Structure 1
Amino acid sequence: MIYNSALVLSILISGSWCLVTKDLKFPEWFKFGAASAAYQVEGAWNVSDKGENIWDRLLHKRPEVAVGGANGDVACDSYHLWRRDIEMAEELGLDVYRFSISWTRLLPNGFANYISEDGKRYYNNLIDGLLEKGIEPVVTIYHFDLPQIFQDLGGWANPLISDWFADYARVVFTLYADRVKTWITINEPFATCDMGYDLQHGPYISDKKIGKYLCNKYSLISHAKAYRIYDEEFRPKYKGKLSLAQIFIWYDPATPEDAELTDLMLEYWEGRYSYPIFSKEGGWPPNIEKYLADKAKKEGYPYPRLPPFTAEEIELVRGTHDYYALNHYSSRLIRKARPGEKIGVYPYFGAEELGVQIENDPSFEIAGLDC
């Protein structure tokens, strides 16, 4: 069978396939699903009135950034082949299909003053088609494809991004919340902020001292504003659920002496994007906030590089979740870097900031998809 789209079945099973027997079954409540992202599958990058996003700009101006100069201009052409996508989802026996909405396909100039009729129709067709086949649509509002016009204004480092995102989210909810019951506001803000401001990801900026922490804060505030809009204006009628999706790599200490440093690394990775939302106290994880503030002071900065939350912002963000969404890819070991030692192959994962080495454990089995 020739597949016209990148519907990748995402099943995580502990152990090998040979252990799956008639005596080992998934519980009845378990849902099998597949997931995609708009830029990765839709293609049709300049069809109709769609606007330019940061990946359009980046891979047209810097084709060397992607392997073989690839880009998403055509991709899987899901914009035209959405019917086939739904057929494949049905053939796979999926319960759930997660996809993202392209901000600039729905709002070509980024702002909510103009909604594309073609963009609106495309997502209506996809949602209705999935429901007709008994497949639940799970919709990601933002999956890496920021309108270029907003990047030109500072992107996720601009405090106003939270208002622009909130306006966009309200449009999405208004159009689709009557049928979509599970939402992800922002996919993997760590990738956008920590990797995107360290030349590993769009927007492909080198600003790991300041920019990525501004992005960190304002992506959380953006999520929170979208959540509050749904909670107040749409939940009473539609009863849906929202969260944001975290990217996560688990870390174990290489030696018992590295345990405290490993805990700090977990705060750095997962805590900065989860603690403000899921903890009872809200705000930044205290240990990493103190570590980064002390380090910034030693570096001569007159203010923390991780920008503090105001009391109002803490309350805005705290509790903005209905479930926990986790994209887990791999696990690593953490040890303290030796004096004069060059940080290894994962410097953008926080290794330089915390002065650690991230290593593979040779006893770990390698999964089919590893990073």
Structure 2
Amino acid sequence: MQSVRIVTHFFLPLGFSWGVGSSAYQTEGAWDVDGKGPSIWDAFTHTKGKVFRNETGDAACDGYYKLLKELNVNHYLLSISWPRIMPTGIKTELNEKGIQFYNDTINSLLESSIIPIVSLYHWDLPQVLQEKYGGWQNISMINYFNDYANLCFEKFGDRVKHWITFSNPWVSYETGEHAPGLKLGGCGAYKAAHHIIKSHAKVWHSYNNSWRSEQQGMVGISLTTGWGEPIDPQSQADIDAAERYIQFHLGWFANPIYRGDYPEAMKNYVGNAQQGLGTSRLPTFSVQEKIYIKGTSDFLGIGHFTTRYVTQKSFPSLQVSSYHMDQDLAELVDPKWPAPGSKWLYSVPWGFRRLLNFIKTQYGNPLIYVTENGVSEKVQCTQLCDEWRIEYLKGYINEILKALNDGVNVRGYTAWSLLDKFEWNKGFSERFGFYHVDFKNKDKPRYPKASVDYYKNIISANGFPNPREAHEI
């Protein structure tokens, strides 16, 4: 058994940025107020049977009117709702009240010495673009998204210096569980992702050519991924399966942006001869596109929540091909891992360090901002004593410390999330917030959970005030 020793450095580097995050649809509410147009999530949640208890984000946390600034964070990660400032998604129709709302939000953050990190897209596509063009299935979205991004750079870029093009751009066109609720299988997901990657690159080039010299900001993308660990580290089949896991999750978007093309594992497993198809269902980039896309990220945002053990699993060739089946693997968990919240979310801190080191090795040690990391609770935390969240934060932040000692270039950490909020198709049944929100009360009062003070102390100390909390194995 390995001995456990205390890390001598239990503080993070000077200038490390601590924050919390949220997204527009999950927190803002005011879905049809002040000229805002509908998004695909407005349409999806207004269809009965799509969301747990038919809950919607129509009012959400009333983040549109209130913003909590009690945590003494260095930054706040928020997303802009595209249909709030462009109700139909196109630049000929702007909503000045929506633009003013984000101007006020950004200004109030800066007045409180909080750096805004702004995501342009966190899933709430204007519904009109979905109905008219089929959303991300249509290549025309590249230009529409670029117009929207340039409007944001024009209106807010004098104050916003950290831009994220897409937050967790994995697009649910496969199962229909998320908006827009279409079941298009793997082909639909791969096609949408292809257009999103091209959209990201176009926006980066737009910023680089038209705005960077004046505004001096950065543009990146935020990718959410688990870590896949081979269940048998001696088995080459399991090692290969774990590699596929990470390439299908992270590499799908990161590889084109950092290395110029889709990962080999995806090219080999999506519609290859093994599946009896003459051509791949994974779209291809031209030589010019590869050159255009490669290097289009000033930083990499990483969302990370949990880890899986991975083993080889061959699906019968008769089954319908899908993104899930294409990976040819099975995901397993250790029953000893703590599972305090969502059924998919186990607390496995050591996977985080391995993921961060993988990124360092695979993509040339890019500048990393952790953009989402946190844990939900299954039961309503009426006593507000969320000790499991404190343990989770302690474990995962400690792994960032170790990764920094490994030479990984992590510059900031965003705990997810500020408030209990609308959790997509789970409605309000899963709660990730530092602040409990009483959604049954029309005023939606917020109450700090125990984790608020814990996180405040970490921010104040820029690390662990108590060195006993930082361990290295």
Q: 1:332 aligns with which of 298, 308, 314?
A: 308
Amino acid at match of 1:264: R
* Cα pair 2:272 2:279 within 8 Å, conserved: no
The 3 A distance-change label for structure 1 pair 249 and 23 is closer
**Identical residues among aligned pairs (%):** 31
> Structure 2: which 5+ residue stretches go unaligned?
346-473
Task: Identify the range of structure 1 (30-39 vs 195-204) with the bigger mean alpha-carbon deviation.
Answer: 195-204
2:284 paired with 1:308: yes
Aligned-residue CA RMSD (Å): 2.5
Amino acid at match of 2:241: L
Give the alignment of 1:317-356 within 5 angstroms: 317-337=293-313, 350-356=323-329
Give the alignment of 1:182-331 within 5 angstroms: 182-190=162-170, 192=171, 195-255=172-232, 256-257=234-235, 258-279=238-259, 282-295=260-273, 298-300=275-277, 302-331=278-307
Amino acid at match of 1:41: T
- Report the count of equivalent residues: 334
* Cα pair 2:255 2:261 within 8 Å, conserved: yes
- Residue 142 of structure 1 aligns to a residue in which SS? coil
Quote the Cα distance in structure 2 between the aligned partners of 1:314 and 1:308: 9
Quote the Cα distance in structure 2 between the aligned partners of 1:108 and 1:315: 34
* Cα pair 1:59 1:69 within 8 Å, conserved: yes
Give the alignment of 1:1-371 within 5 angstroms: 24-61=10-47, 63-81=48-66, 85=67, 88-89=68-69, 91-152=70-131, 153-190=133-170, 192=171, 195-255=172-232, 256-257=234-235, 258-279=238-259, 282-295=260-273, 298-300=275-277, 302-337=278-313, 350-366=323-339, 371=345
Amino acid at match of 2:240: E
Quote the Cα distance in structure 1 between the aligned partners of 2:335 and 2:214: 52
* 2:361 equivalent in structure 1: none
How far apart are residue 304 of structure 1 and its match? 1.7
Amino acid at match of 1:310: S
How far apart are residue 23 of structure 1 and its match? 8.5
> Structure 1: which 5+ residue stretches go unaligned?
1-18
Quote the Cα distance in structure 2 between the aligned partners of 1:336 and 1:286: 17
* Cα pair 2:315 2:328 within 8 Å, conserved: no
Deviations 1:85-137 (A, max 9, x none): 1xx22x21111011111000000111011211100100000001110111101
How far apart are residue 69 of structure 1 and its match? 1.1
Quote the Cα distance in structure 2 between the aligned partners of 1:185 and 1:216: 13
How far apart are residue 200 of structure 1 and its match? 2.9
- Residue 315 of structure 1 aligns to a residue in which SS? helix
Amino acid at match of 1:211: G
Deviations 1:267-305 (A, max 9, x none): 1111111000012xx11112321221415x7344x5321
Amino acid at match of 1:292: V
* Cα pair 1:197 1:203 within 8 Å, conserved: no
* Cα pair 2:241 2:328 within 8 Å, conserved: no
How far apart are residue 78 of structure 1 and its match? 1.7
- Residue 260 of structure 1 aligns to a residue in which SS? helix
Quote the Cα distance in structure 2 between the aligned partners of 1:320 and 1:291: 26
How far apart are residue 364 of structure 1 and its match? 3.4
* Cα pair 1:137 1:180 within 8 Å, conserved: yes
The 3 A distance-change label for structure 1 pair 34 and 339 is closer
How far apart are residue 367 of structure 1 and its match? 6.0
TM-score relative to the length of structure 1: 0.84
TM-score relative to the length of structure 2: 0.67
Amino acid at match of 2:253: Y
How far apart are residue 48 of structure 1 and its match? 2.1
